[in-house]
Structure 1
Amino acid sequence: MALMPGLQLNIGQQLKLTPQLQQSIKILQYSALEVQQTIETTLETNFMLEIEEERDDERDDLEAARETEDKRDLEETLSAEEKPLDIEHNNEIDSELQMDMEWDEVFSDHSAPSNSPKDPSEYVSAENYTSAETTLHDHLQWQLDTAPFDERQIVLASYLIDDINDEGYLSTELSDLLATLNDNESEGEQPAYSLQELEAVLVLVQQFEPNGVGARSLQESLLLQLAAMPQKPYVVSARQLIKENFDWLSYHDHKRIKKFYGLNDDELTTLLRLIQTLNPRPGRDFSPTQSEMIIPDLRLKRSKSGWLVELNQDAFPRLGVNATYIQLASSLDDSEQNKRIKEQLTEAKGLIKSIQSRGETLLRVGSFIVNRQQGFFEEGEQAMKPLVLREVAEFLDLHESTISRATNQKYIQTPRGTFELKYFFSTGVSQYGSADQSATAIKAFIKRLIDAEDPKKPLSDSKLMKLLEEDNEISVARRTIAKYREAMNIPSSSERKKLNTYKI
């Protein structure tokens, strides 16, 4: 059969994402803080994008409010002037009376210092200043600067301090740290650093404050803290226990500890309370105190007709297109400049449209969640209903991936607090003859029962299972109770009993 050239027509469908759609998906996935950063970056590079000023009606309302307040102050002043002067009981100071000082000198908090601008609005009082935070690295470096170390010890100590994490522990093995150190510092005739040198300097760094810093394990950190204490009988016993049988302490094997060290109940209680005073994370005292900023995308308010979900208008500034450049483009003859203006205009409109689309999607998803989990906002976690992404996607006619992007790192501000939208999703546990229960609700019931239990007689998983079925008509297996309890970092009943016995 001879091969001959020919034409063939194939019909098919192919999905392609346009740049505008890709940007819309990316903006939907961003958190509110990331959207703010994107807006700031675009404002620096795109001259067509601008922040809209206050609307005229809002400005008129503000000016009207100010005029009303000024008029009220004027009426109060006039009414005060019209009152008759009581000569016998008049304690007011004559305005023409000479005074030996000015009011600005008395109320110095409201005036600027002599070496600063005289405008009071430019003065910042002392209580508005905040002190700089000292990090663990800065604190250790300051101690190194005051320590009598030679040059080689300073280099080794600097590498060790840089490797200490925020909790106060070394992050790298000494052998790996030594290899990196020799690669960076060994030059010329200077001898290479040895592991013995590094270990000797580590011992010196471990004497810095806070006690227990620079340890390679929890066991070593506790021993360092005990070594800094006065050598009392129970301190010696605690060091011996942690050094020789640290596993017994980790597993709360108190019977073996009592038998091996010949302790009675009172002595064991004193020993364990001493160990509980130690800090398992010695670097936490220098950790940053500023919490991560969370900007809610949605706000939930109670209205006469029920719950009202609305977008947080303060999350982003109002964006618009600069009309001046559009008029300028129509008068330019240069095609290159017109092309650049059109590109900037397309980018600006695309960003504005993507942010609007993001808000509409979040509003739809948030409204469905609030309508579904209305019991949570009324009663709490015990009224949480099971909810999965598929239900929201089917109801809103959207893809599950879109719902996932719209709930990840998106927050809603409610009367009960600020929650991530993902918080309201949980799997359902099947119940016989009744509606499925949310895993979040079951965890809340378990936690409430454990919080109300007798510390001397903690509730076992089997007892929790019976109480859930009797009091709340929730039927779950004992292994499910254990799984939820471990997920909430709650020890077993036997461990809780031991912890309550030796609790400070």
Structure 2
Amino acid sequence: MKPGLSLRVSQHLALTPQLQQSIWLLQLSTLELTQEVEHMLDDNPFLERTTEEAEREEFGLAQADAPAQRDDYALEDAQYAGPASTDKTSTSSDADGGDVAAPVDAAPDWDGDGSAALAPDDSEWGGEARARSGQGDDEADATELARSQESLTDYLHRQALSLRVNDVDRAALRFLIESLNEHGYLEDPLEELAAGLAGPDALEEQEELVHHFTVALRLLQSLEPVGVGARGLAECLTLQLQDLARRAGTHLADQDIDDETVQVALRICAQPMELLARRDVRRLMQACGASDERVRAAIALIGRLEPRPGRRFADVERNLIVPDVIVRKLARSSGDGQPQFSVQLNPEVMPRLRVHDIYANALRGHKGSEGHAGLQQRLQEARWFIKNIQQRFDTILRVSQAIVQRQKNFFTHGELAMRPLVLRDIADELGLHESTISRVTTAKYMATPMGTYELKYFFGSGLGTETGGNASSTAVRALIKQFVAAESPTKPLSDSQLAEMLKEQGIECARRTVAKYRDVLKIAPANLRKAL
């Protein structure tokens, strides 16, 4: 084959490291962004915090609000058409159908816009976002305070110290306490716990351990909270009812509960739990030999017990939501009398960064020295990081402003006034890709006069109405919640009745759709909502 030269014209689009970082920062939550900023401050010597204001760069909000051009849509599609999680490999497309892949192992090149030369004054790279003011060392952190509560195991160990038992039983009690789950239940049988300690072949040792565990279990179930150490729901409820029976002379004297009701409740707990869950009063009457009134009173008593004794000790992680955007209602109104709202970024979540002047000037004075090229690339990386953070907040602000404009009725009248809204609507209005809107609205929160909501909350599909319009699924769920709140406790509304009531409001909603929305709202079915 004869060698030769040929020319070929092709188009090449690639996700540069700058674009990859921009997409990556856009999808991070506030907490994740804070961690990423801290990592960059530790890793890049050219990046530092600042407390001073700096002028916004030309790539800021003013330019972001410029009308989108046709070429911008093409580039946007190339950047964001992939999945939400950004790959670290570059993608490209060839005009004649062939794919040209960028080298995966190539070092990141932060000279993407051709501005590799050092700026005369690198202090201009900064002031994009304010960081939360650091608290003093002596000030307590809210999250640490939330986690400082006593755990269930510590509470039980502290009670066990007051018990007068021998060392073997005390060790067995300690082992059972450590074997409880977060709800206070002992899930593993005593035989399995003994076999795990003694081994499968030591049968005599297993029997001895089971004996000590049985004694320790009785001790454990005598501790507070009542019901701890139960092997199941029935035993947990039984332990609490037995405690009520022991205190019937004092604790129950001022309540509408008598000893007979407690005894019927104990017999109900001895039956299969499915009967209690279905509130099958007729079969419970037959099984317990009690009257209808007494069984209903016993079921009501059981409903007041705690099915999870360890609930109040659960170390639930309390996520303190810090909003990214703050919406305030203005005192003035528009010309048509509609209320006006201001949409602003929360300064508490905006890290204020800049390029380190001293290091940048030192690098400028040592051009051509060893390692100069590598340091220059780190400087450019710092510049791009600041720029991408600014673009992240600019995009969040633009999307939030568009959401507030579309859902203005919600901020005035509440959930029932929510309009149908999909990602495509905001994407078309702002000239962005749907995947960009999806990243912006995930794990980003907006503080409003109605409360704090995730940006995704304002999006919802539409249901058809008799007038030919659409009703937001969020508004329909709010309407269902309103109907259930106003229903009669003795005659709760079924899903079919709720669908009929929605139809009376002009909203076409199938029964199965009502059931789905009811499950989302965590509303029990009609038979479980019925008051006894």
Indicate the larger mover: 150-159 or 18-27.
150-159
Offset at 1:390? 2.7
Give the match for residue 113 of structure 1.
Answer: none
**Residue correspondence of structure 1 range 267-346 to structure 2 within 5 A:** 267-288=294-315, 291-303=318-330, 304=332, 305=334, 306-332=340-366, 335-336=369-370, 338-339=372-373, 341-346=375-380
Give the match for residue 490 of structure 1.
Answer: 523
Distance 1:155 1:395, change over 3 A: farther
Distance 1:199 1:31, change over 3 A: same
Counterpart contact for 2:172–2:213, Cα < 8 Å: no
Counterpart contact for 2:176–2:213, Cα < 8 Å: no
Between the aligned partners of 1:414 and 1:134, the Cα distance in structure 2 is 35
Give the match for residue 99 of structure 1.
Answer: none
Offset at 1:434? 2.0
Between the aligned partners of 2:288 and 2:156, the Cα distance in structure 1 is 38
Matched, 1:17 2:15: yes
Counterpart contact for 1:211–1:282, Cα < 8 Å: yes
Give the match for residue 249 of structure 1.
Answer: 276
Counterpart contact for 1:301–1:414, Cα < 8 Å: yes
Give the match for residue 233 of structure 1.
Answer: 260
AA at the equivalent of 1:270: A
Counterpart contact for 2:463–2:507, Cα < 8 Å: no
Between the aligned partners of 1:341 and 1:309, the Cα distance in structure 2 is 40
Between the aligned partners of 1:383 and 1:440, the Cα distance in structure 2 is 9
Cα deviation code 1:340-361 (max 9, x no counterpart): 5434423322321221111111
Distance 1:312 1:228, change over 3 A: same
Between the aligned partners of 1:263 and 1:167, the Cα distance in structure 2 is 32
Q: TM-score, normalised by structure 1?
A: 0.73
The partner residue of 1:168 within 151, 160, 184 is: 184
Give the match for residue 474 of structure 1.
Answer: 507
Counterpart contact for 1:178–1:198, Cα < 8 Å: no
Matched, 1:371 2:369: no
Give the match for residue 29 of structure 2.
Answer: 31
Between the aligned partners of 1:49 and 1:192, the Cα distance in structure 2 is 63
Give the unaligned 5+ runs of structure 1: 58-120
Distance 1:35 1:179, change over 3 A: farther
Aligned with 1:314: secondary structure? helix
Between the aligned partners of 1:123 and 1:146, the Cα distance in structure 2 is 36
Distance 1:324 1:389, change over 3 A: same
Counterpart contact for 2:150–2:313, Cα < 8 Å: yes
Q: TM-score, normalised by structure 2?
A: 0.70
AA at the equivalent of 1:283: G
Between the aligned partners of 2:187 and 2:380, the Cα distance in structure 1 is 49
Counterpart contact for 1:325–1:341, Cα < 8 Å: no
Cα deviation code 1:374-405 (max 9, x no counterpart): 11111111111122223323333323222221
Matched, 1:213 2:246: no
Between the aligned partners of 1:157 and 1:487, the Cα distance in structure 2 is 42
Aligned with 2:420: secondary structure? coil
Counterpart contact for 2:194–2:206, Cα < 8 Å: no
AA at the equivalent of 2:506: E
Aligned with 1:377: secondary structure? helix
**Residue correspondence of structure 1 range 313-462 to structure 2 within 5 A:** 313-332=347-366, 335-336=369-370, 338-339=372-373, 341-462=375-496
Between the aligned partners of 1:151 and 1:13, the Cα distance in structure 2 is 79
Counterpart contact for 1:376–1:382, Cα < 8 Å: yes
Between the aligned partners of 1:340 and 1:380, the Cα distance in structure 2 is 55
Return the index of the structure with the highest Cα Rg: 1
Aligned with 1:310: secondary structure? strand
AA at the equivalent of 2:228: V
Between the aligned partners of 1:5 and 1:337, the Cα distance in structure 2 is 44
The partner residue of 1:196 within 210, 223, 233 is: 210
Between the aligned partners of 2:211 and 2:43, the Cα distance in structure 1 is 53
Offset at 1:279? 0.3
Counterpart contact for 2:480–2:518, Cα < 8 Å: yes
Counterpart contact for 2:464–2:471, Cα < 8 Å: yes
**Residue correspondence of structure 1 range 79-90 to structure 2 within 5 A:** none
Greater relative CO (CA pairs within 8 A, separation 6+): 2
AA at the equivalent of 2:182: D
Between the aligned partners of 1:401 and 1:56, the Cα distance in structure 2 is 31
Give the match for residue 41 of structure 2.
Answer: 43
Between the aligned partners of 2:34 and 2:25, the Cα distance in structure 1 is 10
Distance 1:256 1:411, change over 3 A: same
AA at the equivalent of 2:495: D
Between the aligned partners of 1:439 and 1:176, the Cα distance in structure 2 is 50
Between the aligned partners of 1:316 and 1:180, the Cα distance in structure 2 is 53
Distance 1:399 1:7, change over 3 A: farther
Between the aligned partners of 1:330 and 1:321, the Cα distance in structure 2 is 13
Matched, 1:136 2:152: yes
Give the match for residue 463 of structure 1.
Answer: 497
Aligned with 2:326: secondary structure? strand
Offset at 1:319? 1.0
Aligned with 2:155: secondary structure? helix
Counterpart contact for 1:446–1:485, Cα < 8 Å: yes
Between the aligned partners of 2:221 and 2:503, the Cα distance in structure 1 is 54
Offset at 1:440? 1.2
User: Which structure dedicates a bigger proportion of its chain to helix?
Assistant: 1
Counterpart contact for 1:296–1:412, Cα < 8 Å: yes
Indicate the larger mover: 406-415 or 193-202.
193-202
Cα deviation code 1:26-63 (max 9, x no counterpart): 21111112212222233233332222124499xxxxxx
Counterpart contact for 1:431–1:474, Cα < 8 Å: yes
Between the aligned partners of 1:13 and 1:323, the Cα distance in structure 2 is 39
Offset at 1:209? 1.9
Between the aligned partners of 1:424 and 1:250, the Cα distance in structure 2 is 36
Between the aligned partners of 1:174 and 1:15, the Cα distance in structure 2 is 64
Between the aligned partners of 1:379 and 1:122, the Cα distance in structure 2 is 44
Between the aligned partners of 1:425 and 1:289, the Cα distance in structure 2 is 29
Aligned with 2:349: secondary structure? coil
Give the match for residue 58 of structure 2.
Answer: none
Cα deviation code 1:321-369 (max 9, x no counterpart): 1111111223347835645543442332232122111111111221221
Distance 1:49 1:198, change over 3 A: farther
What is the number of equivalent residue pairs in this alignment?
423
Distance 1:204 1:11, change over 3 A: farther
Between the aligned partners of 1:122 and 1:402, the Cα distance in structure 2 is 39
Counterpart contact for 2:281–2:296, Cα < 8 Å: no
Counterpart contact for 1:298–1:363, Cα < 8 Å: yes
